[in-house]
Structure 1
Amino acid sequence: MAKKMMVRVDDRLIHGQVLTQWVSTINAQKIVVIDDEISKDKMRKNILKFAAPDDIKISILSAERAVEVWNKNKFGNFNVFVLFRDVNMIRKCKDLGLVFLDISLGQMSIIDDRKQIYRQLGLSEAEAQTLLDLEKEGLNIYFQMIPTDKKESLEMIKKVFPNVA
């Protein structure tokens, strides 16, 4: 079972800020990326593995495989940093039975139909609704760009998308 664990959404996945600031908050020995698309793409998997230092174990799993691994050994006997690229994978994992109670939201590029919610974080109305639904289901989800920032509630979503509840 994971000794310590932190879960974060950041569409950049493994990058400088994650490695220099977030991973050190729990002295992570392992990073688990959960993403159906990337788990099937050998080139993208290799790029992510190359981005991390040699002393950090990297696993890139589909949602289904993440549930299997979790049910088997809770991601192993490591301090684990779990990364998602988007909120839809969190929803899928929860629906499959893998539930993370605390989730930090970082950068999600403000592209397509996404509107700026918090600093460099954009959400579509559907993504906003997904997050609020997950929060109603008992997950503690908050905005936090870097570890020294104050954790911000999801309330600001309602200012940008007044129709979500």
Structure 2
Amino acid sequence: MAKKLAVRVDDRLIHGQVVTQWVKVFDAQKIVVIDNAVAKDKMQKNILKFAAPSDLKVNIYSVDKAVEVWNKNKFGPYNVFVLFRDVKQIKECQEKGLVFEEVSIGQMAIINDRKQVYKQLGLDQSEAQTLLDLEKSGMKLYFQMQPTDKKESLTILKKTFPDLK
């Protein structure tokens, strides 16, 4: 069972800020990436593993595999830093029984139908609704770009998406 667990959404997954700040602040011994597309792509998996320091264990799972491993050993006896590329896969994990208590929402590129919600964070209406639904289910969610930043509540979503339920 994971000694400590931190969960974050950052569409860049394993990158400089995660490695130099988040992993260190959390004292992570293992990174778990949960992403259905990356789990199927050998090249992306290799790039992400190469981006992590050699002393960190890195596992990359599809949602289904992550749920299976969680049910088996809760990601092992480590301080585990879990990364998602998007919020929809967190919802998919929840629907399959893998529920996280707390999730920090970081960068998601402001592309396509996404609107800027907070700093370098873009969401479309559906993603914003997914976050609110997760929060209503009891998950603690907040926006935070860097570990030194103040945690911002989801209430700022209403400024960009006033029709959210």
Task: Give the TM-score of the pair, scaled to structure 1.
Answer: 0.99
Give 1:133-152 correspondences, 5 Å limit: 133-152=133-152
SS where residue 103 of structure 1 aligns? strand
2:33 aligns with: 33
The answer to whether structure 1 residue 18 and structure 2 residue 18 are counterparts is: yes
Residue identity matched to 2:155: E
Structure 2 Cα separation of the partners of residues 26 and 53 of structure 1: 15
* C-alpha distance in structure 1 between counterparts of 2:26 and 2:113, whole Å: 34
Tell me which residue corresponds to 1:99: 99
The alignment status of 1:125 with 2:125, answered yes or no, reads yes
What value does the CA root-mean-square deviation take over the aligned residues? 0.5
Unaligned 5+ segments in structure 2 are none
1:81 alignment counterpart = 81
Could you tell me how far 1:138 is from its partner in structure 2? 0.4
Partner of 2:113: 113
C-alpha distance in 1 between matches for 2:41 and 2:28: 25
Cα distance in 1 for partners of 2:49, 2:115 equals 31
CA distance in 1, matches of 2:88, 2:45: 20
Percent same amino acid at aligned positions? 68
Number of positions where the alignment pairs a residue of Structure 1 with one of Structure 2: 165
**Partner-residue secondary structure (3-state), 1:37:** helix
Instruction: Read off the aligned partner of 2:117 and give its amino acid letter.
Output: I
- Displacement, 1:49? 0.4
Deviation at 1:57, TM superposition (A): 0.4
Partner SS, residue 141 of structure 2: strand
Q: Distance in 2 between matches of 1:49 and 1:42?
A: 11
Deviation at 1:26, TM superposition (A): 1.7
Specify the alignment match of 2:90 in structure 1.
90
1:126-146 C-alpha deviation (Å, 9 max, x unpaired): 000000010000000000001
Moved over 2 A (4+): none
Report the counterpart of residue 48 of structure 1 in structure 2.
48
Q: TM-score, normalised by structure 2?
A: 0.99
Structure 1: stretches of 5+ with no match in the other structure: none
